[in-house]
Structure 1
């Protein structure tokens, strides 16, 4: 079901989804009230729901939709204003599965290949995940989108267009062989790194609500696949949840124990040395794993400085960003925790870490905080 007050946007999104062999548009509405009234009749698996609409907006419609059909996947669509970013994150807290950043004009929607790919991939992946959880057979295998040119280190291909959200070609990983786990590092962690994407804002809020009192002695750096404006508001939410100061990283600022640094949307965040100080570094290099910010650059940058004293955590998310960096952290003697499949909205990123054999442990979200607290406290 596509719900948007713009007839142009409704028509475009509807056409894009219908052209995918694994997807069918069952309804299209101009406001939330019509969507709520039609939900049980049309019975969609996924609703693409605009934030701003007359008569009933997306924030008002969301809980009514979820009440009528528990387990419904709702993907919010909003432009990159501060208000809409705040509303979108509130919608995630109320049960929306994810969001897609929407170009501000109809012409932007028409011409944005990134927006089209993002809508299709999130609807397909989240819908199939919901079907699997409900015990139904998945939708017919969808034709994968043509992979974009890689900007990963060592690639000979040209850089992909800059993107500030989750990858256009997610890989939902599931181990095909027995899981191989690493040993935890025997070195006390001096740095905590976290990477996440789809489902990450909810997971991060929960996690920081548990570990805030335990991160007194370590800096914490977070890369969440998000566009500009959204990451600043995410940092505010983390501050409230953790009781610690969280903010977007600023180029050149020193790493301080007890501080939380969030990679700003549209920039890669890494760390490095300036004189005797370890500092945050931001760059505008091409996307990595189709993402900007990306997890791998952050993870890899920490290894020369902290080695086996790194504790990293890869939470729910589409794609495989973080797997390469996690493998290098594990090879350097550090420790990586991967969120388990059942508690992940999408088990792409943590699943890729597990498949790579980089994880020291695979835990549900509600056990990760306790494990981090024990490790930072010198226990296992």
Structure 2
């Protein structure tokens, strides 16, 4: 296996990717998908984890993103992952696996070992050839992680290839808990304005997350006191099966009762209700007798489940007596929902750029001026607890 030659139609400095999968057909389909974007170049393509480690060690600095299969001969993806990170601590690894319960569990374990993200791949080449959503997601993740790596290493030139909702700003300064103030200037568009907290105490907490979300959720919920007797509604962009496993991981790692939501399930204080994969999660009823409703309406922001429909329904039930937490994630899902929440008198906090895997979703609400605070991940739980204990205005 040799490093692939540079292609004349590529951008001047494309993101450099290695594909690792035991199926040459799958690698070929991945390569055609990614290289249809001129800002991506496949520089290596190998069939197992052992070859991936050897190739990376011989080409340090020449590979930026790795798309890594889980099940392979000689050395599987989970075994190879820590060796790849040991060889290059800045390497961005995206796990690719089919939608099985076992692979979902392995993918979440891989995130704990340092993988940046996962992507569920279609189960057959026929499915893959027509999976437009998968192709779009794979391309977006590779570009986002390639850009993140260059930003961390100081290799990205100002203004270079900042695309769509992943336009990045400088880390926002920590915010005062109640009073509005102005955060540090943002590289992509001036200062971030912060706003006062809602006048009424929150009676429900809504959490939205995507890329990098599982690890952020483990930290945030692990830090959040179990004495906080409020219902928590959580939408994480994830496919079916993965959300089932994520609920189990949250319960095991944080101590919170966490359930994958079902249609008609009552909303219970002290419980985390996780949106089921491929279903929007909404709530109906009154604050004292709220009930979850699941539906398969059209994707919003290319996502199902999506954060926006959850937030809209929360406003319908609780009005402004709600607090939204927007964690790391690609895109801008949650921005419109947070806008409606703030208009109703609610409060929004977002994770800062420095601790986000991708500052898309939190960056969108921060730049829109919807946040009372933009904080490092490790500070959010304590801030949320204070908001639930302060005196109502």
TM-score (norm 2): 0.86
**Does the alignment pair 1:209 with 2:218?**
no
**Whole-Å Cα distance in 1 between the matches of residues 142 and 155 of structure 2?**
17
Give how far 1:328 is off. 1.0
**SS, match of residue 226 in structure 2:** helix
Aligned pairs (5 A) from 1:170-319: 170-174=165-169, 175=186, 176-215=189-228, 217-273=229-285, 277-319=289-331
**Whole-Å Cα distance in 1 between the matches of residues 77 and 165 of structure 2?**
26
Aligned residue in 2 for 1:128: 147
Seen in structure 2, the aligned counterparts of structure 1 residues 134 and 276 have a Cα distance that, compared at 3 Å, is closer
Which runs of 4 or more aligned residues in structure 1 lie more than 4 Å from their structure 2 counterparts after TM superposition?
A: 138-144
TM-score (norm 1): 0.89
Give how far 1:142 is off. 5.9
Give how far 1:244 is off. 2.2
CA deviations on 1:252-310 (whole Å, 9 max, x unpaired) are 11111101100000000010118972111111110011100000000111112212210
Gaps of 5+ in 2: 1-17, 170-185
Aligned residue in 2 for 1:19: 36
**Does the alignment pair 1:360 with 2:377?**
no
Give how far 1:171 is off. 3.5
Seen in structure 2, the aligned counterparts of structure 1 residues 277 and 140 have a Cα distance that, compared at 3 Å, is closer
CA contact (8 A) 1:323 1:349 kept: yes
**Whole-Å Cα distance in 1 between the matches of residues 261 and 65 of structure 2?**
35
Superposition RMSD on alpha carbons, in Å? 2.0
**Whole-Å Cα distance in 1 between the matches of residues 137 and 256 of structure 2?**
33
Aligned residue in 1 for 2:76: 57
Give how far 1:130 is off. 1.2
CA contact (8 A) 2:166 2:358 kept: no
Give how far 1:139 is off. 11
Question: What is the aligned counterpart of 2:101 among 58, 67, 82?
Answer: 82
Aligned residue in 1 for 2:133: 114
**SS, match of residue 94 in structure 2:** strand
Give how far 1:65 is off. 0.2
Give how far 1:357 is off. 1.1
Aligned residue in 1 for 2:15: none
**Whole-Å Cα distance in 1 between the matches of residues 161 and 350 of structure 2?**
27
**SS, match of residue 40 in structure 2:** coil
Aligned residue in 2 for 1:42: 59
CA contact (8 A) 2:220 2:380 kept: yes
CA deviations on 1:23-69 (whole Å, 9 max, x unpaired) are 11111100000000110223310000001111111000000000010
Seen in structure 2, the aligned counterparts of structure 1 residues 272 and 338 have a Cα distance that, compared at 3 Å, is same
Question: What is the aligned counterpart of 2:89 among 59, 63, 70?
Answer: 70
**SS, match of residue 308 in structure 2:** helix
Name which of structure 1's ranges 313-322 and 131-140 shifts more when overlaid on structure 2.
131-140
Give how far 1:70 is off. 0.4
Give how far 1:356 is off. 1.4
Give how far 1:113 is off. 1.5
Give how far 1:186 is off. 2.9
Seen in structure 2, the aligned counterparts of structure 1 residues 63 and 95 have a Cα distance that, compared at 3 Å, is same
**SS, match of residue 238 in structure 1:** helix
**Whole-Å Cα distance in 2 between the matches of residues 357 and 348 of structure 1?**
14
Seen in structure 2, the aligned counterparts of structure 1 residues 133 and 108 have a Cα distance that, compared at 3 Å, is same
CA deviations on 1:88-107 (whole Å, 9 max, x unpaired) are 00001110001111001122
Seen in structure 2, the aligned counterparts of structure 1 residues 139 and 188 have a Cα distance that, compared at 3 Å, is closer
CA contact (8 A) 1:21 1:143 kept: no
Name which of structure 1's ranges 106-115 and 339-348 shifts more when overlaid on structure 2.
106-115
